[in-house]
Amino acid sequence: MSASDLAGSAASNQSAPSIRWGRVAREVLRTVASVLVTILGLLALTFFIGRLLPLDPVLAILGDDASQEAYDRMVVQLGLDKPLWQQFLTYVVNSLQFDFGTSLTSGKPVTEDILRVFPATLELATVAMILGTGLGIPLGVIAAANRDTWIDQVVRVLSLIGYSAPIFWLGLLGLTVFYAGLGWVGGPGRIDILYQYDLTPRTGLYLIDSALAGRWDIFADVFSRIVLPASILAYGAMAYISRMTRSFMLEQFSQEYIVAARAKGASRTQMIWSHAFPNIAVQLVTVVALSYAFLLEGAVLTETVFAWPGFGRYLTTALLRADMNAVLGCTLVVGLIFITLNLLCDIFYRAFDPRTR
Amino acid sequence: MTDTPVTSSRTSLRAWLEAPAASTPRQARAQAAWRGWKRLLANRAALAGLIVLILLVVIAAIGPLLTPYSPMSQDLSVRLQPPSMLHPLGTDDLGRDIMTRILYGARITLMMALLVALIAGPIGLIMGATAGYLGGWFDIVAMRLVDIFLSFPSLILALAFVAALGPGIENAVIAIALSAWPPIARLARAEALTVRKSDYIAASRLQGASSTRLILRHVMPICLPSVVIRITLNMAGIILTAAGLGFLGLGAQPPSPEWGAMLASGRQFMLTNWWLAATPGAAIMLVSLAFNLLGDGLRDVLDPRDE
Amino acid sequence: MKKHANFLRCVAAAVALGAVPALAETPADTLLMARNIDAISTFDPAQIGEVVTNEMIQNICDSLVSIDPEDEASVVPAMAKDWTVSDDGLKITFNLVEGATFPSGNPVTAKDVVWSMQRVLKLGFGNAATLTEYGFSEETAETDFVALDDYTFEMNLSRPYPIALILQAVASNRVANVLDSEFLKGEEVDGDYANKYLTTNSACVGPFALRQWNAGEVVILEANENYYGPAPKLKRIIIRHVAEAQAQRLLLEQGDIDVARDLGAEDLRDLKENPDLEVVSTPLHQLYYMGFDSAKPEFADDRVRLAFKYLVDYDALADTVMAFLGVPRASVVPLGALGALDEEEGQPFSLDLDKAKELLTEAGYGDGFSARLFVGTLPYVAPIAQHVQENAAKVGIDLQIEQMANAQLFSAFRGRDFDTIMLSWQTSVPHAHGMLSRHAVNPDNSDEAGLTMFPTWRASWYNEDFNKRVDEALFEKDEAKQIEMYKQLQLDHMMHGPFAYMFQLLDTAVLGSSVTTWKWNAFRVYYADIEKG
């Protein structure tokens, strides 16, 4: 849902005027200003949510049994006795330096935790992205080329199922069938625990690390584990990408140059792949990039089911454990990623889209 | 219907709707809607979605008549029964009939989706239409707000809100609505921007119509169709978010037969008694798919580039 | 255990230069255990409050004494090789093991014991209550715990508490974990007594050492090669975080792990039939109970609280939802503790709607009332809550269930912000006093007192008579008489107490065929004794 909204915003910039440098400078300034305002708003929102949470961070540190004196002491220590605006100010200043405080549940700085868990999610999302794009784009093109035929309908239903199924439910079903039943894929978790300490992390992406180390046995293990969660995540991304591709292609088909090309006797395949497709490439890059954001959301539930030690699971655990610093840090990071992706797409769009040049 | 001839027979209505040239604006609009309707019917997938949804509404309305059981009454002696003649979808861990619970759950699901639409729709519409029409600082502030809300995945935002408000169906609805209005506002704004400069708005303004009146009477009605479609498209997402909240224990509370909550409590029986989790999961998927099919069809029908 | 032919793994391996896929059998010197370890937030013995971490720290840090693996009611030497008690019963002198060294190389001395125990009081985390309950305090810490010389440690009591109880409740507890004071003083930050360092590290002597903890991922313990006691049988214990019970079961059945710790009743029933696996259980001194806010007029009446005890079909739940997970228990003292009522006397209630209705009518609530019921997220909680809810509805009481994360549940309970609530309470001593001291005693019921460590205070329940009798029973020297007093206290508590106890919980694990020895009791799991074949 969110990813398509972002795509919508990128698409709404299609009509940007042709480049004139003075205007560019002004626009860049305006964009920077608006991003800054958004980030400040983001900070305010996370702070506000954090204060609203009926979770007691003091209790989370001290334990259920703590005495009232110890409790009061900790309130002061955490700065929770200061006026709200002061707390907010501290929060903003610290956050801008990527200091989100110490996680109550891991005892480490939240930033360190996020850096530790992020590669797991990145690897999962990337594999999912490759699968989703590899399937989604061809399916979308095929559907568009065969518009309103049974092929179109089949692609439509197949991809809409990807939109419609509760992702955690697919995960559980997948594990039951492919791991427990058929034994085709590896179990929950990212890597066999016994391998984990044989592997020196270089990139944090285990597929690459194991390949670099030449440990193909580890590579096989990691691969067998990532296949299922990535496929399930990819399903949603594939649905989105194929729907968007279809829509972009249909738009191209209605353009005059295609009609003209057809009149000149270009073959169907030629028309689709050498004429129409290159023209939607820029739009597609945007869609694919924004799908990453979509995957981040899917990761929250998928990682819970697959015991995947990534960002999504870190966030849900923190939420359930009243780990306020971690919750706020994570939401903020997600927000920043969204804003950055959105901004990058915007810039990319303006720079490369043939129609805006 | 004052400016059109009142027709009593179906055929003449049809003729009026399919006349090659519309004689009044009203007829033109009616004809466009008619063509859209026929295109929707021709789209089998969308039609299937529509039929499932109609069925769902019927089931939600008459569900209690279809089952001899109550969705709440427990009987530990018949717990975890597999599907049978007595219990077509089996029983759950407290011996409740699952089919009965699914039937009653349809009401909750529909109600939640509807409530979210009723809260998020108007908020988004008013914010978007006003921002688009007025422009200026209101537009800037409103759109920044939208940007901020959109910079979170909706589930994460809803999660945070529901954690703040406390668990329960009402709070889940509010939380989902809070995360659902921004895209609608953005859409309504885009529509409002296009009509803002149109001649008849300018004309009305010259005649001294107030901004409030213009927004309410002219801008909002024009934004309405795309907003409705957008909400239909979002319904599936709303239902999935609600189920996700239920799955994480933050949505409907026991013993409510809400599907997400049923799925969450059934998942511990996945390997021993699959039907506890499989049925509510399938129900969620079916309804969500129906909304998606319908929404997808609607988008096709109304997408100007397909005309 | 046989490993499934792993199709994709083979394909991937074949692609990868035809390398041979690794055998996924767990190694012989390593125990792989799946458990939900989300609750772990620290490894500092002064701060640990969760059952999961407690089990681990007991295998990482030795206390003065330990619980006998063969008899949970008695203690055996650990860091203290023996001890003597003064005639007035106010002084325990511990003689420490000589020659034990910390991983840093520092010798273990009585100074370390003093520093470690005083530290608990000074830090003031929840665990300080373990000490303050028996009269130790931050103010008197200097004289409560004294090092006479390097190997002699003296504990001074303010009252002649039963020595056996002090040994169990204090000397074997994690508050008496002996930490490397010399080394840790170097790790202090802002006078935190190395709390920050100990959150993720260990600096003590025990059969295992904490090698790594990644929150929400894994805990790795490694055998201590310089251990002064008998060497652990296994080299490594890996506790892997698997939150989903279903995933734990799959891992176990596929032979990817040796032990699964959090399985539900239905899975356990299934796995019991599997000849390759073994289901083992031990009763815990942990009770699952329903609490009522006695500050609310309806729950101030003993008869209303009593009525709730007739709203539970104990046997039906024990056979279904709680199978392998708990046994019915209505007494405040768990079975197995000194002074506990026997099985029958300790559980006289059964589902009886008429009786409940009668009690409610007598109390003036014949027409019922409505109240909120707060519960946590453990799998068996929702069914029990709904079961009680349905029966309550039949006698006119309308309960609205609200399920919440444990952190939130504790907040509500501590804040006296609830109507009714369901949770569990675990005591660390096999002695009636362990429960009664918190569940029958409430020194001061005022809001200002803020005695949040007393569930009685949280429930706004206060009874002068119980306060007095629990104290008298504790100091009764004639054991037969003492047991009689405890029994009467339990019976009275059943009728007038603040809580409705429902189940005594069991700890149930499933072992793969690779595990040949698994040793545990109500208070400990002995990692050092685990063997694989």
pLDDT in tens, B179-217: 889 989 988 888 888 888 777 777 888 888 788 888 888
Q: Which two tokens stand for residue C185?
A: 């003083």
The predicted pLDDT at position C397 comes to 96
Q: What radius of gyration do chain A's Cα atoms show?
A: 24
In terms of phi and psi (left: phi > 0; alpha: psi -120 to 50; beta: otherwise), the region of C524 is beta
In order, the DSSP letters of A275-324 are IIHHHHHHHHHHHHHHHHHHHHHHHHHHHHHTT--SHHHHHHHHHHTT-H
Domain boundaries, chain C: 30-232+512-532, 283-508
Query: What was the pLDDT predicted at B11?
Result: 66
Residue B146 lies in a domain: yes
Q: How far is C267 from chain B (nearest CA, A)?
A: 7
A19 and A78 assigned to the same domain = yes
- Is residue A201 located within the same domain as residue A292? yes
Q: Sorting pLDDT into bands at 50, 70 and 90, what band is A175? A: confident
**A103 belongs to a structural domain:** no
Separation CA C403–CA C416 (nearest Å)? 17
User: Is residue B151 pLDDT above 70, yes or no?
Assistant: yes
Query: Does the structure show a pLDDT above 70 at B45?
Result: yes
Q: Nearest by CB to B186, from A1, A9, A294: name it.
A: A9
pLDDT exceeds 50 at position A315: yes
Identify the domain containing residue B120 by its residue range.
Answer: 52-65+90-306
Both A21 and A115 in one domain: the answer is no
Asked whether residue C461 carries a pLDDT value surpassing 90, the answer given is: yes
Which of A320-334, C285-299, C307-321, C346-360 is least confident?
Answer: A320-334
C124–A69 C-beta distance less than 8 A: yes
Q: Which chains pack against A, by 3+ Cβ pairs within 8 A?
A: B, C
pLDDT of residue A19 exceeding 60, the answer is: no
A19: how many CB neighbours lie within 10 A of its CB? 12
Within-domain flag for A262: yes
Q: How much of chain C exceeds pLDDT 90, in percent?
A: 80
Band the pLDDT of A344: cuts 50, 70, 90.
confident
Q: Please tell me whether residues A148 and A289 are part of one structural domain.
A: yes
Tell me if B34 is assigned to some domain.
no
Higher-scoring residue by pLDDT: C173, C378: C173
Flag whether B11 is in a domain: no
Per the prediction, chain B carries an average pLDDT of 83
More confident residue, C24 or A345: A345
Interval A330-355 mean pLDDT = 76
Is the Cβ pair A301, B155 closer than 8 Å? yes
Residue A5 pLDDT > 70: no
Same domain, A237 and A301: yes
How far off is chain B from C387, nearest CA to CA, in Å? Answer: 8
- Rounded to 5 degrees, φ, ψ at C508 are -125, 130
Q: Given this model, what pLDDT does residue C263 score?
A: 93
Interface of C with B (CB under 8 A): 244-246, 249-250, 264, 266-267, 269-270, 313, 316-317, 320-321, 377, 379, 382-383, 385-387, 389-390, 400-405
Averaged over B49-56, what is the pLDDT?
A: 91
Render pLDDT for C419-449 as a digit per residue (tens, 0 to 9).
999 999 999 899 999 999 999 999 999 988 8
Do A61 and A123 lie in one domain? The reply is: no
Among A96, A124, A152, residue at a domain's last position: A96
Beta bridge partners of C30: C236
Confidence of residue A353 (pLDDT cuts 50, 70, 90): low
Cα pseudo-dihedral C309, C314, C317, C323, rounded to 10: 130
User: What pLDDT was estimated at residue A35?
Assistant: 82
Per DSSP, the residues of C273-320 read T-TT-EEEEEEEEEEEEEEE-TTSHHHHSHHHHHHHTTS--HHHHHHT
Winning range, highest mean pLDDT, from A52-56, B59-63, B269-273, C348-352? C348-352
Quick one: average pLDDT of B125-140?
Answer: 88
pLDDT exceeds cutoff 60 at C17: no
CA distances from A24 to A11, A282, A342, A356 (A): 19, 20, 18, 13
CB contact under 8 Å between A54 and B293, yes or no, is: no
User: What ipTM score was computed for the predicted complex, to two decimals?
Assistant: 0.79
**Which of C27, C377, C407 has the CB atom closest to A322's CB atom?**
C407
pLDDT digits (tens, 9 = 90+) for B215-258: 888 888 888 878 887 888 788 888 888 888 877 777 888 899 99
Query: What pLDDT is stored for residue A230 in this prediction?
Result: 93
Q: In chain B, which residues have their Cβ closer than 8 Å to the Cβ of A161?
A: 285, 289
Q: Which of A146-160, A181-195, B156-170, C307-321 has the highest mean pLDDT?
A: C307-321
On whether both A163 and A245 belong to a single domain, the answer is yes
> Tokens standing for A327?
């919750």
Give pLDDT tens digits for C28-85: 899 999 999 888 888 999 999 888 999 999 999 999 999 999 999 899 999 999 999 9
Residue with tokens 């688009």: B132
pLDDT of residue C4: 40
Give the phi and the psi of residue C9 in degrees, each rounded to 5: -60, -40
Contact: B144, A1; criterion CB under 8 Å: no
Q: Where does the pLDDT of residue A354 fall: very low under 50, low under 70, confident under 90, or very high at 90 and above?
A: low
| Residue B78 domain-assigned (yes or no) | no
Q: Which chain B residues have a beta carbon less than 8 Å from that of C244? A: 267
Q: Judge if A143 and A83 occupy the same domain.
A: no
Q: Which two tokens stand for residue A276?
A: 């129409």
Cβ neighbourhood burial of A147 (10 Å; 0-12, 13-18, 19+) = middle
Chain B interface test: which of A45, A46, A147, A160 (most B C-beta within 10 Å): A160
Q: Which residue has the higher pLDDT, C77 or C216?
A: C77
- For residue A169, list chain B residues with Cβ-Cβ distance below 8 A: 263, 277, 281, 284-285
Q: Is C371 helix (H, G, I), strand (E, B) or coil?
A: strand
Instruction: Give the per-residue pLDDT at C105.
Output: 94
Give the domain range for residue A33: 3-96
C425: β partners: C287
Average pLDDT over residues C127-131: 91
pLDDT of residue C19 exceeding 50: no
- Output the CA–CA distances (angstroms, integers) from residue C448 to A62, C397, C419, C457, C498, in the order listed: 20, 32, 20, 11, 20
What is the model's pLDDT at position B95?
A: 93
Give the DSSP per-residue string, A157-202.
HHHHHHHHS-HHHHHHHHIIIIIIIS--S--SSSS-HHHHTTSPPS
pLDDT band at B162 (very low <50, low <70, confident <90, very high): confident
Q: Is residue A79 part of a domain?
A: yes
| Mean pLDDT of the region C444-471 | 93
Residue A220 lies in a domain: yes
Task: Give the CB-side neighbour count of residue C10, counting CA atoms within 13 A.
Answer: 7
Task: Tell me if A105 is assigned to some domain.
Answer: no
Band (B9; pLDDT cuts 50, 70, 90): low
Architecture of the domain spanning C283-508: Roll (3.10)
Q: What is the pLDDT of residue C346?
A: 95
Nearest in space to C49 (alpha carbons), one of A55, A74, A60 = A60
pLDDT average, residue stretch C116-121? 96
Three-state DSSP at C19 gives coil
- Asked whether the beta carbons of residue A250 and residue B247 sit closer than 8 angstroms, the reply is no
Contacts of C377 in chain B (CB under 8 A): 249
The CA R_g of chain B, rounded to the nearest whole Å, is 23
Does residue B40 belong to any structural domain of this protein? no
Average pLDDT over residues A187-205: 78
Q: For residue B134, is it within any domain?
A: yes
CATH number at residue B249: 1.10.3720.10
Q: Does A82 share its domain with A115?
A: no
A320/C269: higher pLDDT: C269
Q: Does residue A315 form part of some domain?
A: yes
Alpha helices in C133-264 (DSSP H): 141-144, 163-166, 181-185, 195-200, 245-253
For range B124-138, the mean pLDDT:
89
Digit-coded pLDDT (tens) for A218-258: 898 889 999 999 999 999 889 889 988 888 888 887 777 77
Say which range, C142-156, C440-454, C501-515, has the weakest mean pLDDT: C440-454
Question: Do A90 and A189 lie in a common domain?
Answer: no
What pLDDT shows up at residue B268?
83
- The mean per-residue pLDDT over the stretch A204-216 comes to 86
Please report the pLDDT score of residue A24 as a whole number. Answer: 73
Domain count, chain A: 2
Give the model's pLDDT for residue A287.
83
Is the pLDDT confidence value at A192 over 60? Answer: yes
Domains: count for chain B = 1
Mutate to test the interface with A, among B50, B145, B147, B189 (most CBs of A within 10 A): B147
**Contact call for A165 and B248, based on CB within 8 A:** no
Give the rounded percent of residues in chain A with a pLDDT score beyond 70: 89
Position C202 pLDDT exceeds 50: yes
CA distance C383 to chain B (A): 7
The highest-level CATH class for domain C30-232+512-532 is: alpha beta
- What is the predicted pLDDT for the residue at C12? 40
Residue A246: inside a domain: yes
What pLDDT is recorded for position C292? 97
pLDDT band for A355, please (50, 70, 90 cuts): low
Same domain membership, residue A155 and residue A220 = yes
pLDDT-derived band at C86 (thresholds 50, 70, 90) equals very high
Least confident range from A3-12, B49-58, C167-176: namely A3-12
CB of B74 within 8 Å of a chain C CB? The answer is yes
Task: Output the domain CATH number for residue A259.
Answer: 1.10.3720.10
- Report d(CA B178, CA B172) in Å as an integer: 10
Instruction: Tell me the mean pLDDT in the region C265-275.
Output: 93
| Domain assignment present for A104 | no
Distances (CA, A) of C250 to B196, C37, C260, C324: 61, 18, 10, 19
In percent, the amount of chain A with pLDDT more than 90 equals 9
Whether A83 and A193 share a structural domain: no
